[in-house]
Amino acid sequence: MRILYLALALILPLSVFCQENDQTMPSNEKRFRPNPTVQFAGGTGMISLGLGHSYANNKLESQVLSGYVPKKYAGKTLWILTLKQTYFPFKLNFRRHLKKSCYIYPISIGGSVSIYNLPSKNSTELPFIKNSTMYNYFLGGKVEIEVKEQSSQFVEFYYEIGSNYIETYIYHLNRSTVKFREILNVGIGASFHL
């Protein structure tokens, strides 16, 4: 039940902010356009592909990612489904220094829920929900660069440094043996606003 509430909390704001007034939105942005995203590591899998959408004047971003970790690195092959929400408090505009628009978002705060190894179609129960759900949190930033001058097409590159609730709890219990850097995960990614 917690996953349902979390999924609604991540996705519901998306539908509210996508319904903008026609007078405030340029004609080429009147429809919902998901942004393809690729991410390496960061608690979403060794490599993850998905879709995202920025809204609320690019201060909020929601993403759905499907990740993969090979058996060689995890003991068994992992498939990970992640719902991610990120908040960007402010941005810095570097257009006056460059020919193309360039925005730097030096700080981002976010969280995600990841579900590991969804059951096969022959499974009658869903025991994986309780044991294979991970709640993550992260800090990061991103750089957004215009693809063509005077266009609404951007490529953004981002980084995230975070952890999850289990590793944080283990660190809290074993501070003498577990180092802080051992509970952190780092992720990098790119998103395409085309």
Query: What CATH number has the domain bearing residue 139?
Result: 2.40.160
Residue 170 lies in a domain: yes
Q: How many structural domains is the chain composed of?
A: 1
CA dihedral for 116, 118, 123, 124, sign (positive or negative)? positive
Higher pLDDT, 62 or 76: 62
Name the band, by pLDDT with cuts 50, 70 and 90, for residue 131: low
Residue 163 lies in a domain: yes
Residues 130 and 132: their CA atoms lie apart, in Å, by 6
Question: What residues make up the domain containing 100?
Answer: 2-22+32-193
Name the band, by pLDDT with cuts 50, 70 and 90, for residue 194: confident
Name the band, by pLDDT with cuts 50, 70 and 90, for residue 191: very high
Residue 157 lies in a domain: yes
pLDDT in tens, 147-160: 877 677 889 999 99
The CA angle 134-63-83, to the nearest 5 degrees, is 20
Residue 10 lies in a domain: yes
Residue 27 lies in a domain: no
